[in-house]
Each structure stands twice: as C-alpha cells, then as structure tokens.
C-alpha cells in the first residue's frame, strides 16, 4: 500500500451529509464518514494483481490510522474540513503540525471596527482582513465572489453523553412553563455536565489553524461581519459597471449583511466554529450513509443509495464545483485563478464568469455570460477549458436537481444525531437544544411516513443511479485521455 500513496487524486466529492468520497488514478477509493471519525479504503488494482481479484477493503477509525494510510487521511480531512460545517481534528494525526495555545477557552474572535480596520492587499490582489489579535484571517478573492478564512480551532475532544441529564432538560422545556432565559440556563448546565476532557492539562488548551472556502452567496453567521469589512475595502478599489453592481445588490447575500458602521465590541465579537467530538456518538449510522461502494461480488450493480446522496462540493482536476442550496439551486465553479463561474438561477442554461483584471491599482471585474449551447472554443495555451468546465457544471447541476426531486426520505446522519444533543451557539450564546431536537423529530416522523413510497421507487432509483455512475466513469476516462 505504501507505493499506492503516490497515485494522484482524480476526484473528491463531499455529499450533502458531509461524507467524503475520493477517487485515485489507480482505482483506489477512500470514504470518510460525515463526522470524519471513521474511514473505508478500497484498494485499487495493482500491476501484479489478478483481473478478477476482489478489491481489498480497509475500515478503520481515522485517529488510529496506520502510517501507510496517513497521507490519504490527512488529504481527505483537509478537503472535508475546508467545506464542512464543523471540522474534525484528531490530535493524533497532527503531531508534526504547528499548534497554538488558546488565548480564550470560549474560542471567540473580535473583529475591528470599520474606522480602525486596515485591509491588506495580497499578492494576487486579494483583500485581507485580520482579527484584533491577528490570529484569524478572512481573505476575499479578487473577484469579490468567494472568500477564505483561516481561524484557530481547538482539537477534537472526547465528549461523554449523559442521556439522563439531556432527557431531564428536554422534558423540562416541554412540560414546564419556563422563560427562554430559563431554557438557556438549563442548556448551559447540560453542556457543563455532558462534556469532559481526558487530555493532559498542557494539551488541553491547544488549537490548530483551519482553512475554509466559502461562496459570498452562502455566508455562515461568524463570517458575515468580517466579510462586510472586506467587501467595503474591496468595493473602494473595484471598478464595476453600474448595471453589474445593481445585479450584485439584488442577488448577493453579502449585501444583506449588517451595516458596517462602527459597532460596539459585543457586536463585533463572534464565536468560532468548534471541532466535532473525537468519538462519534452514532457510529452505527455510518454503514447506512457512508460506504457507497458496489458489492465486490457484483461490481456492475451500483449501491442503491448513491443517488440519494446529493453532491455538495466536487473537486476535479484543480477545479472546484459547489452547489449553492437556494429556492433555485445554483452551481458555482472556482477554476483556481481567482475567477468564479456561476449559473443564473432559473435561467440555468446561462452562466456568468466573473473575471478580475488589474489596472493602475484598481480591480476591474469583467463579467462574461455563456450559454451552454454556445460555449467559446478552446484557445491554445489557456489555463483551462471554459467549454469543458461549464458543460460539466451544467450536467452536475442537472443531476443534482433530478436527485433532489426524486429524494423522498432523508438519509439518517450521525451529524444530525450529534447536533440533537448539543446546545446551539449563536453569536457566543447558548440556546436550548430541545428546539433543534423537536425539529428533527418532526423530520424523522415525516421520513417514516414516506418509507413505504420510497420502497416502491427503489428500482427506478437503481436505474438512474447506474446512469449516474456511467456518466462519472465516462468523464474520468475522458479526463485521463486529455
């Protein structure tokens, strides 16, 4: 297996449930469970192997992976953590990485006020905003359409659940007439009773830097304010036609952010995302939602749940494709040169390419519109093929919409199970976990009601799934031949 580490990745996929599927050039496949705590590796073919030999499968806990698979796992975790709602950070895998002592156990970050904020300009004309302590960074791309964050996060910890305390807290919120303040106080008590840390004192309060990649059209709450600062400075340097700016104002979520006038310290302080627990509280769900491999005995028969797992992010040949979940789903493409290509909502046959250009200290964002049936021809020497990227993005968006329309019953997720028993953090404050738990119970009941209907459509799903896998195989074959 050591020799197989050198095989390059051909495709990385994160599904809606945040499980990860990575394909390698020799046919090796690696999958991470949604929580990141467990993986399955299916070894690809080797030159000396028999043509009909059944692939070897390895299933292990991520934190205890052997050295032969460590590079695989670190690469998979980096991709997962880049796009997941919460990172998974087992300290055992980051022994040689740079660690930082925590300045605050609450993991809060304070951003500067508008008047005191001094943006830095990166080597590629990025707009960089740093927190007051300079330990957390937001980088807005030259196009103004996507951004990256580098923030410190505490390593994943061991969490001990005490169902009796959680049950009491939830029953109290359901059966007693308590004020919202009482519910918050109960949630705080539960959180103190259910979380313990077995790490040594000197290791207990260490953190590591996490890098994440976001679209400006889907912004998580902790990043709304610093992004508004970055956009303020970016707009001052950007040269954008007035009609294009109006279009951005109507469509971009960043323009719905709070006013960037000087705010008080509390309004500029946000709680950073926390790492997932070191040990998954629902490992029994992994076999239902993750290991999406065909039966090795009948390799032509696809797994029936493949189509039910909606794609969230896909990386292929250096290009990132991201589905933006809205009333009308969008697909956003990051080719890697600072530009962004995005579908146009209901007019999903049209794509807009936001291309930053630099002139005399200003960033001019040129917007080019493509139609799927009239894409520009490839030019020798260009960094990537517009035609290939837009065609593939359109196909992926179409498959996503088809899969979403066919999806009747939500797939159970260990992440949902984890969140049911965890207090929710909003702007640094704890809220009652019972509200989330009642919401997910409703979803569970509805899912059970639809189970019978789902069974009647399994054959249809299998047929469509087979077509999906064939399309992906054809794409990979074509990519290898180019």
Asked whether residue 9 falls in the same domain as residue 114, the answer is no
pLDDT at 465: 62
Last residue of a domain, one of 243, 271, 299: 271
What per-residue confidence (pLDDT) applies to 166? 43
Distance CA 126, CA 140 (A): 6
- Is 264 part of a structural domain of the chain? yes
Res 325: pLDDT: 86
Structure tokens belonging to residue 167: 């049950």
In a domain, 407, yes or no: no
One domain, residues 83 and 217: no
Q: Do 49 and 118 share a structural domain?
A: no
Whether 218 and 129 share a structural domain: yes
| Contact in structure between 52 and 35 (CB atoms under 8 Å) | no
Q: What is the pLDDT of residue 467?
A: 66
The pTM of this model reads 0.74
pLDDT at 375: 93
* Domain ranges, residue 128: 100-157+201-271
Mean pLDDT per 10-residue section of the chain, whose length is 482 residues: 57 91 88 92 67 75 92 93 95 84 77 88 91 93 95 87 45 47 48 46 76 94 93 81 48 48 78 91 72 41 48 93 91 94 92 87 86 91 92 92 74 69 42 44 49 50 62 67 64
Query: Given this model, what pLDDT does residue 292 score?
Result: 55
Specify the 3-state DSSP secondary structure of 206.
Answer: strand
Does residue 167 sit in the same domain as residue 145? Answer: no
* pLDDT value of residue 161: 55
Angle at 306 between CA 305 and CA 312, to 5 degrees: 120
Q: In this structure, is residue 182 part of a structural domain?
A: yes
In total, how many domains does the chain have? 3
The pLDDT value given to residue 294: 42
Same domain as 128, residue 255 = yes
| Farthest CA pair distance, the chain | 71
Chain segment 23-39, per-residue pLDDT in tens: 988 888 899 999 999 99
Based on the domain organization, do 120 and 250 belong to the same domain? Answer: yes
| Same domain, residue pair 10 and 68 | yes
Query: Do 79 and 110 have their domain in common?
Result: no
- Sort 98 into a burial class: Cβ within 10 Å, 0-12 / 13-18 / 19+: exposed
Does 466 map to a domain?
A: no
């Amino acid at each position: 297996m050591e020799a197989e580490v050198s095989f390059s990745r051909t495709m990385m996929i994160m599904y809606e449930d945040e499980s990860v599927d990575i394909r390698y050039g020799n046919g090796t496949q690696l999958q991470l469970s949604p929580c990141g705590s467990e993986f399955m590796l299916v070894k690809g073919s080797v030159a000396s192997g028999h043509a009909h030999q059944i692939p070897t499968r390895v299933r292990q806990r991520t934190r205890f992976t052997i050295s032969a698979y460590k590079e695989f796992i670190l690469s998979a975790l980096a991709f997962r953590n880049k796009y997941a709602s919460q990172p998974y950070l087992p300290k055992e895998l980051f022994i040689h990485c740079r660690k930082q002592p925590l300045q605050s156990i609450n993991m809060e970050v304070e951003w500067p006020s508008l008047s005191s904020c001094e943006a830095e300009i990166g080597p590629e004309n990025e707009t960089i905003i740093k927190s007051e302590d300079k330990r957390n960074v937001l980088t807005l791309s030259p196009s103004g359409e996507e951004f990256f964050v580098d923030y410190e996060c505490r390593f994943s910890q061991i969490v001990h659940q005490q169902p009796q305390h959680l049950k009491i807290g939830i029953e109290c919120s359901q059966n007693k007439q308590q004020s919202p303040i009482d519910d918050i106080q109960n949630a705080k008590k539960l959180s103190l009773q259910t979380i313990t840390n077995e790490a040594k004192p000197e290791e207990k309060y260490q953190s590591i830097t996490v890098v994440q990649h976001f679209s400006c059209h889907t912004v998580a709450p902790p990043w709304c304010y610093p992004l508004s600062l970055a956009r303020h400075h970016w707009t001052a340097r950007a040269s954008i036609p007035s009609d294009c700016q109006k279009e951005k104002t109507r469509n971009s979520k960043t323009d719905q952010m709070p006013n960037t006038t000087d705010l008080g310290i509390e309004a500029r302080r946000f709680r950073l995302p926390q790492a997932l627990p070191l040990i998954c509280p629902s490992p029994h769900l992994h076999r239902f939602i993750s290991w999406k491999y065909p039966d090795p005995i009948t390799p032509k028969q696809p797994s029936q749940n493949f189509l039910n797992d909606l794609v969230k992010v896909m990386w292929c040949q250096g290009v990132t494709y991201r589905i933006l979940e809205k009333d009308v789903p969008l697909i956003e493409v990051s080719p890697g040169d600072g530009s962004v290509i995005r579908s146009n909502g209901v007019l999903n046959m049209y794509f807009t390419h936001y291309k930053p250009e630099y002139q005399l200290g200003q960033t001019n964002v040129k917007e080019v519109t493509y139609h799927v049936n009239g894409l520009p021809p490839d030019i020798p020497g260009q960094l990537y093929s517009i035609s290939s990227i837009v065609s593939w993005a359109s196909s992926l968006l179409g498959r996503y919409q088809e899969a979403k329309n066919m999806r009747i019953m939500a797939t159970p997720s260990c992440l949902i199970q984890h969140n049911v028993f965890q207090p929710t953090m909003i702007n640094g404050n704890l809220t009652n976990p019972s509200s989330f738990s009642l919401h997910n119970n409703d979803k569970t009941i509805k899912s059970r009601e639809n189970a019978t209907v789902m069974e009647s459509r399994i054959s249809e799903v299998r047929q469509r799934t087979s077509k999906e896998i064939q399309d992906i195989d054809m794409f990979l074959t074509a990519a290898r031949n180019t």
